[in-house]
Structure 1
Amino acid sequence: MKEVQVGLAQVSCVADKAANIAKAEDNIRTLAAKGAQIICLQELFSSLYFCDVEDYANFQLAEAIPGPTTDRFQGLAKELDVVIIASLFEKRAEGLYHNTTAVIDADGSYLGKYRKNHIPDDPGYFEKFYFTPGDTGYKVFDTRFGKLGVLICWDQWYPEAARITALMGADILFYPTAIGWAQHQAAEVNQDQYNAWQTIQRSHAVANGVPVVSVNRTGVEGEMVFWGGSFVSNAFGRILYQAPHDQEALHVQTISLTESDYYRTHWPFYRDRRIETYQPILKRYLGEE
């Protein structure tokens, strides 16, 4: 059985970007010492979740990719012999910004980036103010420890994104995430929202026969309580690990890369796909125009 050790870093953030990056480096070192081979950081780990407000000053947080943080992490990945999945605020050009995740291989080489396709705009999540929708297409990164599919937060609600990335050959789907509860929301609503969030991602594991790793932040920022709850599911949606909601967590999880063949053989969803019938999904809506 081929297995890989995956490290998750669920942490709280502060306003100091340099401090957050230094903390991320410390966490990567800790996870590597615990045996992690692939380490995934949460969405926009180098700052507070600034999208809770529309403030032009926040564009100063962005950086080039490749750039200073990826350069630093390339050296770290090579030193520790680990793959790093790092979600950053990308400045592509003057006035052009993306929510982007970079992937660095265990030899320190920069493998490329995925730019978030689905951009939310909701109370407390004003991402359309900051981010241009991605144009990289869906991406799979061929690393030393496996082929990794990377999607970002709001992408996780879309089965199309998971399906396409899995069809491209991903061994594991990773979702760096920043999602939380409004501070004064009812406990029942909180639980419903978390359950829906986890269920949709576990369904991607089931439908595609691939493990899913979702890494969220925790802590209170403004009016938002980030709900943590980072988790790993196997290729049939079984929860292998779930982090607490209100605490930081550094965890290393063993994931099988051979179970996919077992589940896809016994539950042959790929075999029975009727691709000739799927053209209508390219329409925005199929009811009355």
Structure 2
Amino acid sequence: MKVASYQAPYLPFGSMDAVGLIAGQITACEAEGVEILCCPESVIGGLAHESDGQSPSDVALGVDNGELRDVVASLLRTSVLVIVGFTERDTGGALYSSAAVLADGQVAAIHRKVYPGYRTVIRAGEHLPVFRHGSTPFGIIICNDIWYVEPARLLAAGGAALLFVPTNGGHLRAPSAGFRARGDNLPIARAVENSTTVVVADVAGRQGERFSYGSSAIVDPDGIVLAKAASSTETLLVADVEPNRRIEADPRGWDGYTNPAVSQAFLRLSQYGRDGNDDRSQGLAPVD
């Protein structure tokens, strides 16, 4: 099946211009037979730079009250399933960095970022559902979530063959070479670790002192980069990908239980962190 990643321009905070831009990308996807289009995190309204005094609540949209549907109405008249990032306000006023799944003429599902960071009013989502497009199971992990092992592994364990990663690198003032390398290599790592296709959609460009070089890419389960966006350029990436989980995926990485000493040490580490001062983490002897 064909999937696409839209590397969108880095728009000013508060802009809703992305809706029209995405509509144009949907037209291109229809012409190329694309079934699923992934768009960046917070591309609708923009990512708030809270340290600069911007507030996520200024661009937040409610789902139950129809605000989101009204904004994305022009994106619903297509057979292409669209994944698009926005800031969500729930009925109690809590804010989330979320991705809407637009399918069959409606807002079919909402997924919330599970690791929003430490210094933000954005709350963490608590669920990692596996969605379906026809017979193809897929999951969503949002931006910072790809830095963690757990979200991708849980979705893969749930059967996801594709992992879509709405991303927004626009918060960087001066992206280092190391940060850029991680942006390029983490999708490859998650693809290989989990025998899944990983589709990243980022923003690219400059707003004042902030810059996003764009990390959009499509990576297959072997870590082969099927498509990669050029830096700082608006791009639509399209690739043919495997629509289902491999029946005979490489078991390495999934068979840690075969050495209980290692698997139990890892379990304790994941429960109590890497702080050696926690008595519960003592006794994690290295395994030769």
Shorter-chain TM-score: which interval? Answer: 0.7 to 0.9
1:143 aligns to what? 133
Check conservation: 1:6, 1:38, Cα contact below 8 A: yes
For residues 70 and 251 of structure 1, do their structure 2 counterparts lie closer, same or farther at Cα, with a shift above 3 Å needed? farther
For residues 89 and 75 of structure 1, do their structure 2 counterparts lie closer, same or farther at Cα, with a shift above 3 Å needed? same
CA distance in 1 between partners of 2:145 and 2:244 (Å): 26
Unpaired stretches in structure 1, ≥5 consecutive residues: 122-127
> Is residue 251 of structure 1 aligned with residue 237 of structure 2?
yes
CA distance in 1 between partners of 2:88 and 2:137 (Å): 23
TM-score by length of 2: 0.84
Check conservation: 1:181, 1:190, Cα contact below 8 A: no
Check conservation: 1:74, 1:110, Cα contact below 8 A: no
CA distance in 1 between partners of 2:219 and 2:43 (Å): 22
Per the TM alignment, residue 52 of structure 1 is displaced from its structure 2 partner at its CA by 5.0
CA distance in 2 between partners of 1:29 and 1:19 (Å): 16
CA distance in 2 between partners of 1:59 and 1:274 (Å): 45
Greater Cα radius of gyration, structure 1 or 2: 2
> Is residue 230 of structure 1 aligned with residue 206 of structure 2?
no
For residues 140 and 258 of structure 1, do their structure 2 counterparts lie closer, same or farther at Cα, with a shift above 3 Å needed? closer
| DSSP 3-state at the match of 2:61 | coil
Alignment of 1:73-92 (within 5 A): 73=72, 76-77=75-76, 79-92=77-90
Alignment of 1:61-72 (within 5 A): 61-66=59-64, 67-70=66-69
Q: How many residues align?
A: 270
> Is residue 274 of structure 1 aligned with residue 274 of structure 2?
no
CA distance in 1 between partners of 2:75 and 2:44 (Å): 16
CA distance in 2 between partners of 1:286 and 1:56 (Å): 34
> Is residue 176 of structure 1 aligned with residue 166 of structure 2?
yes
For residues 271 and 89 of structure 1, do their structure 2 counterparts lie closer, same or farther at Cα, with a shift above 3 Å needed? closer
> Is residue 211 of structure 1 aligned with residue 194 of structure 2?
no
Alignment of 1:1-289 (within 5 A): 4-12=1-9, 13-15=11-13, 17-51=15-49, 53=51, 55=53, 57-66=55-64, 67-70=66-69, 73=72, 76-77=75-76, 79-105=77-103, 107-121=104-118, 128-135=119-126, 137-144=127-134, 146-180=136-170, 182-183=172-173, 185=174, 190-258=176-244, 260-262=246-248, 264=249, 267-269=250-252, 272-274=255-257, 277-278=263-264, 279-280=267-268, 281-285=270-274, 287-289=276-278
Partner letter of residue 34 of structure 2? A
CA distance in 2 between partners of 1:180 and 1:16 (Å): 14
For residues 111 and 95 of structure 1, do their structure 2 counterparts lie closer, same or farther at Cα, with a shift above 3 Å needed? closer
Per the TM alignment, residue 193 of structure 1 is displaced from its structure 2 partner at its CA by 1.5
For residues 57 and 212 of structure 1, do their structure 2 counterparts lie closer, same or farther at Cα, with a shift above 3 Å needed? closer
| DSSP 3-state at the match of 2:96 | strand
Partner letter of residue 115 of structure 1? R
Q: Output one character per residue of 1:147-201: Cα deviation in whole Å (capped at 9) or x when no partner.
A: 1110100101001111011111111011100115845x4xxx7332211222222
Structure number with the higher helix fraction is 1
Unpaired stretches in structure 2, ≥5 consecutive residues: 279-288
Check conservation: 2:81, 2:102, Cα contact below 8 A: yes
CA distance in 2 between partners of 1:51 and 1:144 (Å): 38
CA distance in 1 between partners of 2:83 and 2:44 (Å): 13
Check conservation: 2:29, 2:80, Cα contact below 8 A: no
1:125 aligns to what? none
Per the TM alignment, residue 110 of structure 1 is displaced from its structure 2 partner at its CA by 3.5
Per the TM alignment, residue 26 of structure 1 is displaced from its structure 2 partner at its CA by 2.1
For residues 26 and 284 of structure 1, do their structure 2 counterparts lie closer, same or farther at Cα, with a shift above 3 Å needed? same
Check conservation: 2:169, 2:212, Cα contact below 8 A: yes
Partner letter of residue 252 of structure 2? F
TM-score by length of 1: 0.83
For residues 235 and 15 of structure 1, do their structure 2 counterparts lie closer, same or farther at Cα, with a shift above 3 Å needed? same
CA distance in 1 between partners of 2:244 and 2:95 (Å): 38
For residues 94 and 257 of structure 1, do their structure 2 counterparts lie closer, same or farther at Cα, with a shift above 3 Å needed? closer
Partner letter of residue 249 of structure 1? T
| DSSP 3-state at the match of 2:156 | helix
